[in-house]
Structure 1
Amino acid sequence: MFMCSELYIAAFEGRTQEVTRLLTGSDDVAIEAARNGQAALHATQAYANHPGECCSTSEVTGDRSTLLHIAASQNHCKLIAELAHRDSTLLSSLNTAQETPLHCAARAGHADAVEAIFRLAKDNVEEDRLRGVIGNKNESGDTALHLAARHGHAAVVETLMKLAPELASEVNVAGVSPLYLAVMSGSVHAVAAIVGYKEASAAGPCSQNALHAAVFQSSEMASLLLRWRPALAIDLDNNNSSPLHFASSDGDCSIVQEMLSCAPPSIAYLQDKKGISALHVASLMGNLHVVRLLLQFYPASSDIRDNCGRNFLHVAAMRGHSSIISYVIKNPMLEHLLNKQDREGNTSLHLAVKAREHKAISKLLSGGKVQAHIMNNAGLTPSDAIESSTGFFSMVRLVVKLYAYGAQFRPQRQDQIRKWTGQDIMKWRLATSKNLAIVSTLVATVAFSAAFNVPGSYGSDGKANLNSNRMYNAFLVLDTVALTTAVMATMLLVYGRASRSNRSWFGFIISMHFLWLSLLCMMLGFFTAIASTSDEKSMMTALSRVIYFGMNGLIILLTCLGMPVS
C-alpha cells in the first residue's frame, strides 16, 4: 500500500501529533474488527475502500521507504520514537535499495537520529534481529558507517564507532572499508574516530589501502594513519605501487618524510610491476625535493634499476628535468650514474637526445663529466640519435650543441652516410607556402588599390590634395614598399612550390621576411594615412605611442607564434 499524501507530508515535516492522528483511526478500526467480528470487519473494508480516510504504518513510498525511513532522513527523533513503539518491525524494514532507517539517518548526517534508532533497536528488537538493524548492508554492501564515512559526516561516524565499532571492519561489495571512504571525504575527524578501533579495515579499491588515498588529502591524515598502523606504508596495490610511490608523485615532502621515518627500511626499495621505485617516480615528476629526501634517508636506493635497466637519472633525462640532473652532477656520491647504461646500452645523454630535451642535454654536457662518445648496444653514440629527428630546427640545435662539446658520431664510411631528408619540414614548407602566397597576393592587391584611393582625395587638377603633407608622403613610401615586398614574396613562393629544388628553402625564408615587411609597412601606412587627415598635435602624440608600443608588442607576439616548433 502506497503512502497517502497527508501522512507523507506530516512525516517529512516531523509533525508527530498529525502522524499519530492519521494512524490512530486505522489502528482503532483494526482493534474493533478483532473484538466485534463481522460488523467491525465491514468497517475495515470501508476504510480500505477509502484509503484517504485512514492510514497505516505499513504504507510505503515509491522506493518502498516506510514512515521511519522518512523520519530518520529528516532527523525527527520524537517521531522516530513514536513509530518504533507502535511498530518495532519498522526498525529493520528495507526499501528497494535494501537500506534500513539507520542507513537513511547516517547518509543524511543526523547523529541524533542514528543514536535514537540504535537505542530503540536495543530495547525493542530481539537479539537475533538486532544485527539486521545495526549491521545491515544495502545493495552495494554499505553499512550505515560506510554511508556516514563516504559523505564525511564526522559526528555520525563518531556516534557509530561508540555504539558499534565492529562496523569498521566491514567492507562493501567493492572491497572498500569505511576508513578508506572517510579518507576520501577529507574528514580528519572521521578518520580519527575510526582508527581508534584496532581491528578497523583500511582496505580500498584495486588493493589500495587508506594511506594510498591519504597522501593526496593532507599530511595530518597520513600521519594519523601511519601512527595507527605503520605497516600500511609497505602495502602494495594491484600495480605493486606503495603509498610512497603515490606520495613521491604528488611531491609533498612532509608526507614522504613521515613515511620514511615510520615505515620499515624496505619502503624505499619497493618496485612496481615495471620495476619503478619511489625514487624513479619522483624523478619522473621532477620533484627534486623528494629526490633529495629519499637519497638522504636511503642513499643506496640510487642504484635501483627498473625493468629497462634505467635508474632515476635516466628517467629524469628522458623527461628533461635539468634540476635533478644538476643535483646529480654536484653530488660526488651520484657521479657514477652519469655514464651508466640501461639494458639497451643507452646512457642518460642517449635518452635525452632521443627525447629532444635540449635543457637536459645542455646540463649533462656542461658538467664535463658525461662521456659523449659512449656507444649503446646498437653501436650508436648520442650524436647518432639525431638521425631520428624529424624537425629541422630541432636537428640543427642538436647538431650545434653536441658539436660544441666535442661529441662524436659512430665510425662509418663517408660514402655511406645517409643524407638527412627532414620530410616533415618539407611538407610543412609546401603547405605553408600555399597559404603565404594567398596572403601576399591580398597584401599586394590592397597596397595597389590604396595608391588610387589616397587620403584627402584628389583635386580638380588630378593631383592629391595632401601633396605637401609629410605624413602623406610617408604613406606613399610605406605603400610602395608594401606593394613591392608583397609582389616579391608572391614570386618567391610560387617559384619555390614549382621548383622544389635545394634553393627553394632559401627562397622560402626570404619570402617570409618580405611578407613580414609588407605587412608591417601596410599597417604603418594605415596609421600615417589617419595622421595626414587629422589634427597634427593631438593625433601625432597618440599615434606615436600606439605605433611604438603596439608594434613592439605585435613583433614579440608574432615572433613567438610564428617560430617553427623545434
Structure 2
Amino acid sequence: MSDVMFMCSELYIAALKGRTEEVVRMLTGRSSQPRGIHPGRCCTAGEVTAERSTLLHIAAGEGHCGLITELCLRDGTLLSSANSSLDTPLHSAARSGHADAVEAVVRLAGSSVEEDRLRGIVGGRNDDGDTALHLAARHGHGEAVEVLVKLAPELAADVNGAGVSPLYLGVMSGSVRAVKAIVGCGNASAAGPMSQNALHAAVLQGSEMVSLLLGWRPALATDVDTNQSSPLHFASSDGDCSIIEEILTHAPHSAYMQDRDGLSALHAAALMGNGPAVKLLLKFCPGTADIRDNHGRSFLHAASLRGQSSVVSHVTKNPMLENILNKQDREGNTALHLAVQAGEYNVVSKLLSSGKVQVHIMNNEGHTPYDLIENTTAFFSMVRLVVNLYVYGAQFRPQRQDHIKEWAGQDIVKWRVGTSKNLAIVSTLVATVAFSAAFNVPGSYGPDGKANLNGNRMYKAFLVLDTVAMTTAVVATILLLVYGRASRPRRLWIGFIVSIHFLWLSLFSMMLGFFTAIAGTGDKKSTLTAMSKLIYHGMYILIMLLTGLAMPGSLTGVLRLVLGASIGSIHWC
C-alpha cells in the first residue's frame, strides 16, 4: 500500500471528462490547481484509483481517443497495466462499447510494443478469464465486437474461466450484430455453461438468431447439455413454432433425441401445454408419439399428469394417436390413472368424453382409476372426479364388499361434516330472507291489500325467483340437516352433493331477484336503473362463471349419480 500512489481528484475528473490539455498540464506540473491528496508536487501517469485503474483505464472506459493517444505516447507501459480485477485498458474500452477506443488501444499497442507483447495485450484475461471480446459480447456492443474480431479473429475461439465463449455471451445479450461478427470467424467457439452451446441460448432469444447460427453451423442442433437436452428440447418447452420448425428443417432427427430422463422434445412441449408445438412436432415426426421416457410414459402421460387439457384434447381428436390413449407406463398406469391421481378434473373429462378411454384398466397394484380417487386431498376435485367417473361407468377393483376398508381421506370427511353445518346455516338464512321478501314485496301494497306492481313484468320475475330461492333453500336445508344425519354413511355424500346444487340455485335466484326488484321499482329512464341493469347483467355472467367453477360435476352427471346410487352400490364411506 505504501508504494501505491493514488490519483488526485482533479486529475481523475479531468481524465474522466476527457480534458486532454488539462491532464497534460497536471502531469507536467504546469497546472495552477491544488494537488488534492498530494499537494506540493506534480501528478504522474502512474497514479491509480482505489481499484488500481490507471489514467489509461479511465480514458479507454470513457472513449476519449485523444487522451488515450497522449497517454500512450508518454508511457507505453500503461497499455499492459492491469487493475485489481486484472482488467487492462482494452478491457475497459470493450466493456463500455467504445469501438474507436478499442481500435486506438490496439493500434497504439501494435506500433509501440513487440508482437508477443501485443498478443498478450489483445488476448489478455481478467480475473474471470474474460478477454476484451468476452466483455464486448456480454454487453451486446456489436460495433466493438466487429473491431475486435477484425483485429484479432483468434479471440472468437477462446472461452473464459467458466467455459463460456464470446458467441454464447453475444447470443445472451441479444445483439444480432455481435453474433454476426463472431460467426464470421470460421474457428469461433459456441460453448456455453453446463455443456450448452449458443443455439441452446438462441432458441429463447428469437428466430433471427436461430437462423443465423444454424446457417453457420447446423451441427449445433444435435449438441446436448449436461442433462442431455438438445436445443429442440429448449425450443419445445418455450413453444415458439417458428424456431421449432427452423431446427427440424436442419435436423429432423433431433425430434427423436431423449434427455437424461428419457423425455423427448414432444414430452417437453406436452409438459408445458404448448399445443401448437405438439401439433408441429407430430406433423414433422409423427413417429415421436411412441417415444417413452424412463418411466415408460408417453407425452400423453406427461400432459395428463401436468393437467395440460389442450394437449390431451388434441390427442383424443387425432385418430392417429388413438393407440396411445390406453397405453400403460412401467407401473401400469394409463393417462387416466395419472390424471385422476393428480386431481386434474379437466383432463379426466377430456379423456372420458372421447369415448375411447377404457375406465376399467388396472395398474400393477391392481388399482383402477376409480380406486385412485381416495388419494385426492382437495374436496371439490374429489367430488367432481367421483361424479365424472361414475357417469362414464368407471369400476372399482374387484374385492369382497365386507373387506372394504374405511376411506383414508378422513380430513375430507371431517371437512364435509363441518361444511354441512355451515352450509345449512346459509341455506336457512336464504330461506328466511326469501320468506320475508314475499311479504315485503317491491313497491309495497295498495289499500286493497294487493301489490302495487301487480302485473308488472319485473315484479312477476321477482316472484318466480323468490319462490325458487325459497324452495331450493328449504330443500338444501333438509338434505343437509335431516337427510344427512338420518341416512347411511354412503348416502351422506350423495345428499351433500345434491344440496350444494340446490344451495347454489337458491343463492343465484335470490341475487337475480334482488336486481329484478330494483329494476321493477325504478324509473326506466333514470341513471340508477341503467346502472342496475348493467350490474344485473354483469352479476348474471359472474354468477354463471362461479357456478360452473364450483359445481361438483354437471347437473346431468349428478342426477345420473343419484339415480344410479338408488339402484346400485357405490363405495361411499
Q: TM-score, normalised by structure 2?
A: 0.78
Asked if structure 2 preserves the Cα contact closer than 8 Å seen for 1:488 and 1:511, the reply is: no
Aligned to 2:413: 426
> CA separation of 1:561/1:399 partners in 2, compared to 1, >3 Å: closer, same or farther?
closer
Q: Secondary structure at the match of 1:63?
A: coil
Alpha-carbon offset, residue 519 of structure 1: 11
Q: Deviations over 1:66-95 (max 9, x none)?
A: 111111111110110000000001111111
Alignment map for 1:24-423 (pairs within 5 Å)? 24-25=28-29, 51=39, 53-263=41-251, 265=253, 267-329=254-316, 331=318, 333-418=320-405, 420=407, 422-423=409-410
- In the alignment, the residues of structure 1 paired with residue 479 and residue 318 of structure 2 have an alpha-carbon distance, to the nearest angstrom, of 54
Identity %: 64
> CA separation of 1:252/1:80 partners in 2, compared to 1, >3 Å: closer, same or farther?
same
> CA separation of 1:66/1:492 partners in 2, compared to 1, >3 Å: closer, same or farther?
farther
Deviates more, 1:339-348 or 1:10-19: 339-348
Aligned to 2:21: 17
Alpha-carbon offset, residue 488 of structure 1: 8.3
Asked if structure 2 preserves the Cα contact closer than 8 Å seen for 1:26 and 1:55, the reply is: no
- In the alignment, the residues of structure 2 paired with residue 353 and residue 558 of structure 1 have an alpha-carbon distance, to the nearest angstrom, of 23
Alpha-carbon offset, residue 270 of structure 1: 1.9
Q: Deviations over 1:342-386 (max 9, x none)?
A: 111222232233233344334434444433333222222333333
- In the alignment, the residues of structure 2 paired with residue 314 and residue 303 of structure 1 have an alpha-carbon distance, to the nearest angstrom, of 12
Deviates more, 1:253-262 or 1:286-295: 286-295
> CA separation of 1:434/1:8 partners in 2, compared to 1, >3 Å: closer, same or farther?
farther
Alpha-carbon offset, residue 322 of structure 1: 4.4
- In the alignment, the residues of structure 2 paired with residue 400 and residue 284 of structure 1 have an alpha-carbon distance, to the nearest angstrom, of 27
Alpha-carbon offset, residue 405 of structure 1: 3.8
Alpha-carbon offset, residue 543 of structure 1: 7.6
Partner AA of 2:10 in structure 1: E
Partner AA of 1:352 in structure 2: A
Asked if structure 1 preserves the Cα contact closer than 8 Å seen for 2:252 and 2:285, the reply is: no
Asked if structure 1 preserves the Cα contact closer than 8 Å seen for 2:360 and 2:394, the reply is: yes
Q: Greater CA radius of gyration, 1 or 2?
A: 1
Deviates more, 1:89-98 or 1:341-350: 341-350
> CA separation of 1:448/1:18 partners in 2, compared to 1, >3 Å: closer, same or farther?
farther
Asked if structure 2 preserves the Cα contact closer than 8 Å seen for 1:489 and 1:512, the reply is: no
Aligned to 1:33: none
- Unpaired runs of 5+ residues, structure 2, are 454-458, 555-573
- In the alignment, the residues of structure 1 paired with residue 519 and residue 336 of structure 2 have an alpha-carbon distance, to the nearest angstrom, of 57
> CA separation of 1:49/1:291 partners in 2, compared to 1, >3 Å: closer, same or farther?
closer
Alpha-carbon offset, residue 555 of structure 1: 3.6
Asked if structure 1 preserves the Cα contact closer than 8 Å seen for 2:332 and 2:362, the reply is: yes
> CA separation of 1:440/1:4 partners in 2, compared to 1, >3 Å: closer, same or farther?
farther
Aligned to 2:6: 2
Partner AA of 1:233 in structure 2: A
Partner AA of 1:15 in structure 2: R
Partner AA of 1:216 in structure 2: L
- In the alignment, the residues of structure 1 paired with residue 486 and residue 506 of structure 2 have an alpha-carbon distance, to the nearest angstrom, of 24
How many residue pairs get aligned? The number is 541
Asked if structure 2 preserves the Cα contact closer than 8 Å seen for 1:171 and 1:177, the reply is: yes
Q: Secondary structure at the match of 2:328?
A: coil
> CA separation of 1:414/1:92 partners in 2, compared to 1, >3 Å: closer, same or farther?
same
Asked if structure 1 preserves the Cα contact closer than 8 Å seen for 2:523 and 2:529, the reply is: no
> CA separation of 1:556/1:328 partners in 2, compared to 1, >3 Å: closer, same or farther?
closer
- In the alignment, the residues of structure 1 paired with residue 267 and residue 331 of structure 2 have an alpha-carbon distance, to the nearest angstrom, of 18
Q: Secondary structure at the match of 1:9?
A: helix
Asked if structure 2 preserves the Cα contact closer than 8 Å seen for 1:111 and 1:156, the reply is: yes
- Unpaired runs of 5+ residues, structure 1, are 28-45, 456-464
Partner AA of 1:291 in structure 2: V
> CA separation of 1:560/1:522 partners in 2, compared to 1, >3 Å: closer, same or farther?
closer
> CA separation of 1:89/1:288 partners in 2, compared to 1, >3 Å: closer, same or farther?
same
Deviates more, 1:517-526 or 1:276-285: 517-526
Q: Secondary structure at the match of 1:377?
A: coil
Q: CA RMSD in A?
A: 4.6
> CA separation of 1:272/1:507 partners in 2, compared to 1, >3 Å: closer, same or farther?
closer
> CA separation of 1:468/1:350 partners in 2, compared to 1, >3 Å: closer, same or farther?
closer
Alpha-carbon offset, residue 395 of structure 1: 3.9
> CA separation of 1:288/1:542 partners in 2, compared to 1, >3 Å: closer, same or farther?
closer
Asked if structure 2 preserves the Cα contact closer than 8 Å seen for 1:492 and 1:511, the reply is: no
Asked if structure 2 preserves the Cα contact closer than 8 Å seen for 1:489 and 1:515, the reply is: no
Alpha-carbon offset, residue 245 of structure 1: 0.8
> CA separation of 1:263/1:552 partners in 2, compared to 1, >3 Å: closer, same or farther?
closer
Q: Secondary structure at the match of 2:29?
A: helix
Partner AA of 2:7 in structure 1: M
Q: Deviations over 1:18-43 (max 9, x none)?
A: 1111111289xxxxxxxxxxxxxxxx
Q: Secondary structure at the match of 1:96?
A: coil
- In the alignment, the residues of structure 1 paired with residue 549 and residue 353 of structure 2 have an alpha-carbon distance, to the nearest angstrom, of 30
Deviates more, 1:10-19 or 1:363-372: 363-372
Asked if structure 2 preserves the Cα contact closer than 8 Å seen for 1:489 and 1:511, the reply is: no
- In the alignment, the residues of structure 2 paired with residue 490 and residue 301 of structure 1 have an alpha-carbon distance, to the nearest angstrom, of 52
Q: TM-score, normalised by structure 1?
A: 0.79
Q: Secondary structure at the match of 2:204?
A: coil
Asked if structure 2 preserves the Cα contact closer than 8 Å seen for 1:383 and 1:409, the reply is: yes
Alpha-carbon offset, residue 161 of structure 1: 0.3
> CA separation of 1:434/1:493 partners in 2, compared to 1, >3 Å: closer, same or farther?
farther
Alpha-carbon offset, residue 175 of structure 1: 1.2
Asked if structure 2 preserves the Cα contact closer than 8 Å seen for 1:26 and 1:56, the reply is: no
Q: Secondary structure at the match of 2:127?
A: coil
- In the alignment, the residues of structure 2 paired with residue 230 and residue 281 of structure 1 have an alpha-carbon distance, to the nearest angstrom, of 22
Asked if structure 2 preserves the Cα contact closer than 8 Å seen for 1:393 and 1:565, the reply is: no
- In the alignment, the residues of structure 2 paired with residue 237 and residue 210 of structure 1 have an alpha-carbon distance, to the nearest angstrom, of 11
> CA separation of 1:431/1:345 partners in 2, compared to 1, >3 Å: closer, same or farther?
same
Asked if structure 1 preserves the Cα contact closer than 8 Å seen for 2:434 and 2:510, the reply is: no
Aligned to 1:462: none
- In the alignment, the residues of structure 1 paired with residue 353 and residue 428 of structure 2 have an alpha-carbon distance, to the nearest angstrom, of 48
> CA separation of 1:314/1:147 partners in 2, compared to 1, >3 Å: closer, same or farther?
same
Asked if structure 2 preserves the Cα contact closer than 8 Å seen for 1:4 and 1:51, the reply is: no
Deviates more, 1:291-300 or 1:111-120: 291-300
Partner AA of 1:219 in structure 2: S
Partner AA of 2:357 in structure 1: V
- In the alignment, the residues of structure 1 paired with residue 335 and residue 477 of structure 2 have an alpha-carbon distance, to the nearest angstrom, of 47
- In the alignment, the residues of structure 1 paired with residue 352 and residue 479 of structure 2 have an alpha-carbon distance, to the nearest angstrom, of 40
Alpha-carbon offset, residue 117 of structure 1: 0.2
Asked if structure 1 preserves the Cα contact closer than 8 Å seen for 2:501 and 2:551, the reply is: no
Deviates more, 1:344-353 or 1:499-508: 499-508
Partner AA of 2:278 in structure 1: V
Deviates more, 1:358-367 or 1:177-186: 358-367
Q: Secondary structure at the match of 2:327?
A: coil
Q: Secondary structure at the match of 1:51?
A: coil
Q: Deviations over 1:291-324 (max 9, x none)?
A: 3433344333332211101122222333344444
- In the alignment, the residues of structure 2 paired with residue 341 and residue 278 of structure 1 have an alpha-carbon distance, to the nearest angstrom, of 20
